[in-house]
Amino acid sequence: MRFRRQPPVYSPVTFPSIWRAAVRAVRPASEPTAALGRWLTREYSAAAAVLFGSGTQALQDALRLALRRVHGSAVGLPAFTCFDVASAAVGVDAHIVLYDLDPATLAPDLDSLARVMERGVRVAIVSPLYGFPVDWEAIESVLAHYGGVGIEDAAQGFQARWRGRSVGSFGPISVLSFGRGKGWTGGVGGALLLRGDASRDDLETLQPEYAGWAAELRVVVLLLAQWALGRPGWYAIPAAIPWLELGETIYRDPTSPRAVTRAAAACLERSRDAAEQEAAVRRANGLALLHALRRGSDAVTIKPLPGAAASFLRLPVRLSRGLAGFSEPARARRLGILRAYPSVLAELPQVSARMDGAGGRWPGAADLARTLFTAPTHSRLSTSEHQEIVRLLRGYRG
């Protein structure tokens, strides 16, 4: 179908989950929020869960808590990651130091991480990208050597596992996101998970305010739009509207943390089974793509680390010539093959203003900003589209 266009990610939203969200939105009771918090503490081995209006808001308060624990320091961020990570650091007015990534695995370059710790950084955010787990024990060893606190930004890690444990269950502080592109969605939402020495004082300072009725209504409208337009036969409509900026990575200014809405929490509860089933499909499709592309192409795939069960939110692939290396660049774009993050964080004015001005080199991150693209793995790909993605990637010429 000529009009058909694939979204890069599909997070299942069913009409029953929207109905549940709408009903809960108008009932002044906290049942869905409390039930979601209890489930998250069990699933992610946490002592407590605090629910926010977005993952970025949760990450802001995670940073505030971590900085209080170490009595203040600069914050270490991966040089290549979602711009919302930078937004959270800006939101707490942090001094920022960047560390590099290994472009072959998307994991932190441990030597680079150690160097930023030597510069006095005591809080570092680690972001497993696209559902590809990182070696948390190796990272924690570096942080522990310097007395640092690691924040696991598991926004993209739903259903990914490292050595049998869920991504999002590592370290003293983890953050989840439930935005529309995260695999399991309530339209919006995020969670801050605390472990170990999470104290009563910590929890008392992490009580975001309720956002109000307007926010409840907005969530229901967002869910309806996602349900109606987030399918390949209709996605071309919102994708063609420039101000929606779908498929683009842009920096968004931080906002004050607010509590998750009842509507979002109810949708998350109702759609969890569908999200888990979708994650199983993504994993199967991602592994099939890796197998099909194991040789004979100039497109370089990222392979999960030994011990990792990636959830393949998307399939990351390094394309040395960008879309120009495809025989049909426009077709690749319509199939959902899109650029990842377009720059290292240091190129954002909001970040560079909070760096020490000494400059830095992040060759791994710079390579990823230049060459990393992602292909969809979700269930709304038809068999013929899956085969066409394989054909295009096999025929890629760098």
pLDDT classification of 26: cutoffs 50, 70, 90 = confident
Calpha distance 49→192 (Å, rounded): 6
pLDDT classification of 231: cutoffs 50, 70, 90 = confident
Report yes or no on 235 lying in a domain.
yes
Calpha distance 240→236 (Å, rounded): 6
Instruction: Summarize pLDDT for 108-155 with one digit per residue, the tens.
Output: 999 999 999 999 999 999 999 999 999 999 999 999 999 999 999 999
CATH number at residue 129: 3.40.640.10
Report yes or no on 7 lying in a domain.
no
Count the domains in the chain: 1
Lowest mean pLDDT among 14-18, 231-235, 352-356, 386-390: 231-235
pLDDT exceeds 90 at position 370: yes
Report yes or no on 3 lying in a domain.
no
Provide the b/e sequence for 200-228 (b: ≥16 CB within 10 Å).
eebeeebebebbeeebbebbbebbbebbe
Report yes or no on 5 lying in a domain.
no
Report yes or no on 8 lying in a domain.
no
Calpha distance 395→18 (Å, rounded): 42
Report yes or no on 290 lying in a domain.
yes
What's the chain's average pLDDT?
93
Q: What percent of the chain has pLDDT over 90?
A: 83
- What number of other Cβ atoms are within 10 A of residue 171's Cβ? 20
Domain that holds residue 207: 15-394
Of the two residues 376 and 359, the one the predictor is more confident about is 376
Q: Output the pLDDT for position 242.
A: 62
Calpha distance 289→375 (Å, rounded): 10
Q: pTM higher than 0.75, yes or no?
A: yes
pLDDT exceeds 60 at position 358: no
Report yes or no on 271 lying in a domain.
yes
Report yes or no on 1 lying in a domain.
no
* Geometric angle at alpha carbon 322, from 233 and 5, rounded to 5°: 0
Instruction: Summarize pLDDT for 255-289 with one digit per residue, the tens.
Output: 999 999 999 999 999 999 999 999 999 999 999 99
Instruction: Summarize pLDDT for 93-107 with one digit per residue, the tens.
Output: 999 999 999 999 999
Instruction: Summarize pLDDT for 174-225 with one digit per residue, the tens.
Output: 999 999 999 999 999 999 999 986 566 677 778 899 989 999 999 999 999 9
